[in-house]
Amino acid sequence: MCGIFACHHHPDVVAFKPAALKAAKQVRHRGPDWILAHERLSIVGVESGAQPLTNADGSIALAVNGEIYNHRLIRKTLETPYHFKTHSDCEVIIPLYMQYDIDAPNHLDGMFSFVLYDKKQDRTIAARDPIGVTSMYMGWDSKKPGAVFFASELKCLKDVCDKVQTFPPGHVYDSKTGETTRYFKPSWWDPTNVPTTPVDLKLIRETFEKSVRKRLMAEVPYGVLLSGGLDSSLVAAIAQRETLRLKAAVLAKNGAEPKQGGDEDKGEGLVGIDDDDKLSTVTYLPQLNSFSIGLPGAPDTEAALEVAKFLGTKHHVMTFTIEDGLNALSDVIYHLETFDVTTIRASTPMFLLSRKIKAMGIKMVLSGEGSDEIFGGYLYFHNAPDKNALHAETVRRLKNLHLADCLRANLSTMAWGVEARVPFLDKEFLEVSMNVDPQEKMHVPGRIEKHILRKAFDVKEEGAEPYLPDKILWRQKEQFSDGVGYGWIDALKDNAALHVTDEMMKNPKPEWGSDIPDSKEAYWYRTMYDELFPSFCADTVMRWTPTWSNQTDPSGRAIAVHAQKYDETK
C-alpha cells in the first residue's frame, strides 16, 4: 500500500511543483516527479517496483496504491506481449490500459487506487477498487478551472483545493470526457433484486479460504489482526492452516527448514501457488504472528488469547490505557480524516496497535472487516422486519464501507506504514455470499447472527479438524470499540462532557449547517476535526448509525439484544 498525489491539467506545472511536493509529503507515512507524486510501501516487487511506473517509451506513467492479486495471471494472458520493467504486481495496469482502455480496472483482482497519465493523448485515468478498500479523494480549485486533483488522503488536497469529494469505489475517471463512471456492476448491486439462491455452506467456506490465501501474497513479514471475534478468528485460522501447509511443502521440497530472507530465484522462503487458481507467490514464514489490543481484562483480549493458543500462532497482546487512547485522539482524527463517532472509537485502538506492529517490522496484516455488512452481523440486524429489508441494508452497508470500516482499516494502519488486507471483501466471495437468499441471514429465534458463516466453518459433522473452538465459533458479536474494553467508550463520553457544555450543544457552529452533532462526544470530535481540516472537507464524512433502532449511540452494547443468551441449538 502506498500514497499518491496527482494533478491533471494544472495551468502552471513549474510553479505548482513545490506545492505538489509539499502535498505529497502529507502521505509520507504511507510509505517510507512529475506532478504525479508517490510514496511507496513495498510489499511485492520490493527491489524493483519504484513508482511512478512507466512503459517502454515513457509515454504512460502510473502511480498506484494497492495490491493486485491476479498480476501473475494477467502477465500470462495479455493479448499483446509486454516488456515488464519490474516484478511489481501493479505494473500490469499499464498493459491492461493499453489493451482495454478505461475498462482495465474490471480485469483487476485486488485493492487499489491509481492515477495513470497517457502523454500521447494528454489523458488522465483514475480508478478505485470495487469496494474502496484503499482510500482516494479527488478535488478542484475554483481558481484553476480545468485542473483536477487526486490523492490517497484528504490532507493532501485541503490546502490546494476548495472543493473535495471521496472518489467513488468501483468507478473510473477519464479526463477525455471529464466523467467518473461505474465499472463495477455485480449481480447484487441493485438492492431490489433480492436473491433466491439456496445457501451452499461448502462453497462459502472454500471461496473464503481462497480469498485469504490469495491475500498472503507478500515478500515481507506479515501477520493477522486477531480480536477474538468470529471474523478475525476465521481469517487467522485459515492463514495459520496455509502457513502450516506451506511449511510442510517447503520441508518436503528441501528436506530442511528454509532460510529466511532468500530470493525467489534461489527458492528460499518462497512457495508458489498455482496461477490457474489466481493465487500468487507467498512468503513462507516459520510462524504466523497474531495481534490484539485492549484495556486490561477486555473481552476481546481474553478471546484472542484462546484463539491464538488453539491455532498455535505467535500472539502479541497490546494493553493500552484510557490515557493512551485519549492522548491519541487528535492524531487519530488527523489520520482518519473523519469526525464519525463509531469510526473514531474503533480506530483509536487500531491506530495504537499498528504502531507496535510496525515497530516489530511487520508491513502487512490481514483483517476481518466486511463480514458484518455481508451477513447482517451487527446486532441491530435482529430488528430487520423481513428478508428484503435485510438484503437492502447489507447492500447499503457494503456501498458505504469506504466511508466506515474500510476507511478505518486503511488509514489506521497506514498511519504507521502498515497495510491491512480484507479477505471478506474479495470480489468472488462477495458474489457468492451476497447472492444467498437473505432469509438465510435473518435472525430467527435460536439462531445467532452470521449463522450461515458459522455453520460453514462448523465441520464437526464432516469429521474434519475444527477451524475454531465452539466457544469462539459461536461467540456473540462484539463491535471492536466495545470488545477492546467497555471502559473505553464510557471514558470517551465522560471526557466529552468535560469539553462540551450544554450551552455549546444548544448553539452549534453556523458553518455546520444541518449536520448537527447529536451528542457531546460527536460535538467534541467535530471541533477537533475543524481544527485540522477546512469546513468544505466535512462533506466527505458519513455518520455510522444503526437502522431499525431508536438509539443514537452506535455502540453494539446499546442494542437491546446484546448479552442475550442464545439457544444452544445451532
List, by residue number, the catalytic residues. Answer: 2
| 201-214 vs 230-254: helix crossing angle, rounded to 10 | 60
Query: Per the annotation, does 293 bind a ligand?
Result: yes
| 230-254 vs 299-311: helix crossing angle, rounded to 10 | 20
Residues facing 37 on adjacent strands: 5
Sorted by sequence, the CB contacts under 8 Å of residue 425 that are 6+ apart come out as: 111, 131, 133, 369, 370, 401, 406
Asked if 167 and 128 touch (Cβ cutoff 8 Å), the reply is yes
Query: Per the annotation, does 368 bind a ligand?
Result: yes
Query: Per the annotation, does 135 bind a ligand?
Result: no
Query: Per the annotation, does 305 bind a ligand?
Result: no
Asked if 121 and 108 touch (Cβ cutoff 8 Å), the reply is no
Cα–Cα distances (Å) from 470 to 230, 242, 382, in that order, read 10, 21, 22
Asked if 354 and 418 touch (Cβ cutoff 8 Å), the reply is yes
Q: How far apart are CA 270 and CA 282, in angstroms?
A: 6
- Per-position DSSP letters for 246-297, written without gaps between them: HHHHHHHHHSSPPPTT--TTTTSSEE---GGGT---EE--SS-EEEEEESTT
- Cβ-count burial of 218 within 10 angstroms (0-12 exposed, 13-18 middle, 19+ buried)? buried
C-alpha grid cell, residue 366: 490481514
Containing 3, the helix (H) or strand (E) segment is: strand 3-8
Radius of gyration of the chain (CA): 23
Single out the residue of 73, 428, 378, 424 nearest to residue 238, CA to CA: 424
Single out the residue of 446, 444, 434 nearest to residue 474, CA to CA: 446
Q: How far apart are CA 406 and CA 383, in angstroms?
A: 25
Query: Per the annotation, does 231 bind a ligand?
Result: no
Q: How far apart are CA 515 and CA 525, in angstroms?
A: 13
C-alpha grid cell, residue 18: 513545490
Q: How far apart are CA 227 and CA 92, in angstroms?
A: 35
| 341-359 vs 405-414: helix crossing angle, rounded to 10 | 30
Return binding residues for ATP: 225, 293, 367-368
Return binding residues for L-glutamine: 89
Return binding residues: 89, 225, 293, 367-368
